[in-house]
Chain A
Amino acid sequence: MPSKPVLFTAAALIAAGVIFGVIFWLTSRANDTTTFALLHTGKTIAENGRDGQPACVQCHGGNGEGNRAMGAPRLAGMPAGYLEKQLHDFARNPLKAGVTLDPIAHDYNKTPKIQVDLTALTPGVRRVDAMNAISATLNAQEVKAVAFYFSSLGYNFTAIPSDPETLARGEDLALRGKPEYGIPACASCHGADGKGYGNHFPPIAGQAPEYIVQQLNQWQTGARDNDQMALMRNIAEQLTDGDKINVAAYFANIAVSSTGGVSSP
């Protein structure tokens, strides 16, 4: 017969186990319900729009697969954090954004770091008239929900063929960049297959070539101005029109697909 304290400890351990189990179950259920609620809100906004603004699905397609003819990019399966940032940047007033100083807290012991290039300092703006109007009607929660909804969708992108010459040049730029101009390879951040990396480096494969060229052009003109540390702007500014077409054709020639699914919100 084990002594009393031993029995007591065993009982306490079992009780603790049961309590933790229940708590775990409850929290995981709560997680499920938040995920579900987010998806539901996201879906509602995506399909109905808000405040009389057009719904996302009108241009981006019922499953977020994008619409090449309209120039609407694929949203399905894009990283949620990336979509969220884009929506916030769309919503920001470009005129007001220009004067914000130093978004990063530099701690140079009260000697301010003087920077003059405003584009490096703006928290990020993207000028696309339709999207500016739509994003302005969404609040932070809704932005989160709709970004989460689209990131959970699956997609199936069939490769868009091009002529071998274009593809070979595009591949050269995508895998090797232009060393003598200081342009790094696309692949070093966006991945060799263009599938992207994390929230900062979106997938390029699976977008229409016209859209990619358009974005590179917008970086050059400054209409799109929301990249981290001006990484993409610096690169886009050195690309020739031919480079843009070649590299866009190369990435559009990669077939990508995903069955979708939720990661944690």
Chain B
Amino acid sequence: MNSFSKSVILSAVSILCTLHVAKAEKLGGELDSLEVRPTLVKPQLSLPTKLTEVHVASPGEFFVPPNVADIPNDKYGDMVRMGREIFVNTQISAGRYVGNALNCQSCHLQEGRKPYAMPIWGAFGMYPMFRNKTRSVVTYEQRIQDCFRFSLNGIPPSVDSPEMQALVAYSHWLSRGAPIGVELPGRSLPGLMRTEDPSPQRGEIVYTTRCAMCHGELGLGKKTADGTQYAFPPLWGPDSFNKGAGIFRVRTAAQYIKANMPLGQGFTISDQEALDVAAYIWIQDRPKDPRVGYILDFLLPRTGAP
């Protein structure tokens, strides 16, 4: 190769790099306006304590899924057990479909049981359902495929694969006694109040004070001692969900964080703080949306904007 073509390639690469950097800066810049938007520095009351907290855990309100010890000892039960194993330990039991370091349980907390963390018992009876994301009616299996493709940044198992059948069996068992087609309390995610525009600057403060202890200063999660899995899952970086995931949308992430994070302290951060920290997570780097190519990935504006 002569030096001319080399230099052409080099300059092309560097132009592409600057494009990418410029875009990242612009995104930060848009929201960086403490001086021009005095409203942002309004004193903010955040009381992460029970003294002002209005959220009351009213356990009786929520559907209670059956106990794991009650999984029947027959072939159906075996399939349910396999489904649970995949759900809890996706990395190992369905590793070939997964492209990052998350398990289903990383988001659908406590084996898909936790209300306001997209519980499985709240979802199973609602499908088939029309979804705006695909503008079509999707079945339950297709919904799970979406989570594999985007949230787990992987390759969806086919509808008739044993993994998918096991997951459906597990969901079926977990939803025993739940009505079909009824929006149960605690289904999906809680609503958010209307707030100011989210600010990643304030989000960074929330992140370092309330999240970094578990998810790491850099948001890349923390690995277990043997280094094979994550004890605390990454919020961004190559091992996290991709830009097509539902939780990549700032609003969805904020709803999720408000109800569930810091772990065990759901509903203790304000709606504003949840949105701020979600915006901070949103501006970080993560795997690209599998629906767009590498070039479009940094040429197109980001989806899921606050």
Interface, chain A (partner B; CB < 8 A): 104, 106-109, 111-117, 119-120, 168, 172, 176-185, 188-189, 191, 195, 197-198, 200, 228-231, 234-235, 238
Contact = CB atoms under 8 A, between A and B. Distances in A.
B41 A234 contact: no
A180 B51 contact: no
Contact of A235 (B34, B110, B264): B264
B269 to A, nearest CB: 11
A182 B224 CA distance: 24
B50 interface: yes
Contacts of B111: 176
Contacts, number: 102
Q: In the complex, which range does the number of interface residues on chain B fall in?
A: 35 or more
A116 B113 contact: no
14 contacts: A111-B42, A114-B43, A115-B49, A180-B59, A180-B115, A182-B57, A182-B264, A184-B264, A189-B231, A189-B263, A197-B222, A197-B231, A198-B222, A200-B213
Of A109, A180, A191, the most chain B CB neighbours within 10 A belong to: A180
A108 B34 contact: no
B176 interface: no
Contact of B265 (A106, A113, A168, A231): A231
Q: Mostly helix, strand, loop or mixed at chain B's interface?
A: loop
A238 B48 contact: no
Interface in B203-256: 205, 209-210, 213-214, 222, 224-225, 231-232
Interface of B: 34, 41-52, 57, 59, 62, 64, 67-69, 109-111, 113-115, 119, 186, 202, 205, 209-210, 213-214, 222, 224-225, 231-232, 262-267
Nearest to A111: B43
Contacts of A189: 214, 231, 263
Contact of A191 (B42, B69, B110, B224): B224
B265 A181 contact: no
B49 A179 contact: no
A231 B262 contact: yes
The 6 closest A-B pairs by CB, nearest first: A117-B49, A180-B59, A179-B114, A179-B113, A111-B43, A184-B264
Contacts of B62: 179-180
A185 B110 contact: yes
